[in-house]
Chain A
Amino acid sequence: MQELFLSSFQQGFVISLAVLGIYISFRILNFPDLTCDGSFSLGGGLAAVLLAAGINPYLGLLVVLAAGFVAGACTGVLNSRFKINPLLAGILMMTMLYSINLRIMNRPNYPLLDLQTILKPIEDMGDYSQIALVVFLGVIALFFKLLIDFFLKTEIGLVLISSGDNEKMTQGLGFNTGRIKILGMGLSNALIAVSGALTAQQFGFADISMGIGIIIVGIAALILGESLFHPKTTFVHTLAIIIGTIIYYVIVSLGLRMGLAPTDFKIATALMVIAVLIFRFKRSENE
């Protein structure tokens, strides 16, 4: 049981970065971005290749961050510059990323065993390595959470929020909302790629299909956190996202224990999202 919680926390912290990214696109920019399935795999694959090449794992993470940013920015450009529908722009980018990722990895699955990952020094700590891993990954998640909190309080952050909320008014104040959206989509996918990179290092391999369905996991975790905390401020919202993601993985692990087949994960998650959305709809109907 203890093991279940430890692994749920570890995975929850890692995936919460992707969920924070999805929060930026989905909630703040009101942009249902499907790029994330591709940028998550991009992060994993790129990290694997860089690690295999012997590059410093932290430097590698920075490269992943930049690559994720570019991927998201491309979706942003397709939408705001060329007026391609947000869903289609995301799908196009996701599809292209599939080919790009295969080019980067040169094979569909890339093992990371025995490579010097970010987590390696902590995994080698012996008895308390699992708890140390929770702390380490928790610090990373908190670091990015606080960074986002601060960013959303800056002038650019305010423009980002208002662009998603009321684009006409934001343009009416003299801001180029297209450019700010591209920036937001870049940041979102940078986080998602980093999440993918850490996931690959956590499980010891990168896989071309590791990002499939990450959007639904993200939305499930997002609405779980929101339903539990009803956040009114950004600080609470991003915290709720991290906790929501951990709870999601606790539920998933419990489900697995009770005999849920791993292949049924995705339908279970999607049904969970549908259930919460129906519950919210019914409640708003009664109000």
Chain B
Amino acid sequence: MNNSKPFLRIENISKSYNQGTPQEVTALHKLSLDVHEGEFVSIIGSNGSGKTSLLNAIAGAIKLTSGRILLNGDDLTDTPLYDRAKHISRVYQDPGGGTSSSMSVEQNLVLASLRGSRAGLWLGVTAKRREQIKNSLKELGIGLENRLGEKVANLSGGQKQAMAMIMATIIKPKILLLDEHVAALDPRMSRLIMEMTEKLVQSHGLTTLMVSHDMELAIKYGHRLIMLHQGNIIKDLPEAKKAQITEQELIDEFRQLRHKEEELSKN
């Protein structure tokens, strides 16, 4: 798999805010990354290291200062977010972020199943679609199939996040971006959603980038581990190396980085 041409190519991207002023902040600094089709990449890094900025850049939520992003050879750099979203789906940390709370469970899922196609002036929730939705919800085993008509506002955070996961994958995306998507959940629900994530990613062979500040999760899941610092990649471990690394080693590494930074700011 790793010998094939890169599927997602990130070329030398930078993003700074307030450029040319004393308040200039660099979120991404000449970052390059190649991701192969079907690869599941875990991304870690301290606050402000550029994790979320990287996902924002791929999704099109921020405009780059420089650099290019290519998906399957197509230059996406100037493609607006909603256009990229036809192929790139994202699940956020906030469980409410991935659903429309004033709509019913089935309406949300129908909407998600329209990803990449044109919405028309015909009925959204049809009997056929309802049946399909019911079947895909049954597989989850959390009882959502019996609450199709219920407003999403009435669901728990975990249930909303489970819905967001299905909505992100009901039409197979070319890239799946997971932005600390289990960080806001309790441990039981977080485990459940991670298991569900793994199952969905594997069964669809999804190319996935998962940002996490939980190092245990980052080590346990995925084929590759990337560590970000000051807007660039400082560590890129393939699967074999990733299997050997321990949480403690990563924590030590972070500590050293922080130490270095403090030394620098003292001088």
Contact = CB atoms under 8 A, between A and B. Distances in A.
Given A173-B115, A174-B115, A176-B82, A162 B100 contact: yes
Contacts of A170: 100, 111
Q: Is the interface of A mostly helix, strand, loop or mixed?
A: helix
Nearest to A155: B119
A236 to B, nearest CB: 14
A62 interface: no
A168 B90 CA distance: 11
Q: Could you say which interface size class chain B belongs to?
A: 20 to 34
B124 A155 contact: yes
A220 interface: no
Interface residues of A, number: 23
Contacts of B50: none
> In this complex, which of A161, A166, A169, A175 has the most chain B Cβ atoms within 10 angstroms of its Cβ?
A169
Contacts of B124: 153-155, 157-158
A177 B80 CA distance: 12
B101 A165 contact: yes
A4 B83 CA distance: 55
Nearest to A154: B121
A155 B122 contact: yes
Given A165-B100, A168-B97, A155 B81 contact: no
Contacts of B98: 169, 172
Contacts of A190: none
A175 B118 CA distance: 8
A3 B163 CA distance: 54
B89 interface: yes
Contacts of B97: 166, 168-169
Nearest to A159: B119
Interface of A: 151, 153-159, 161-162, 165-166, 168-177, 232
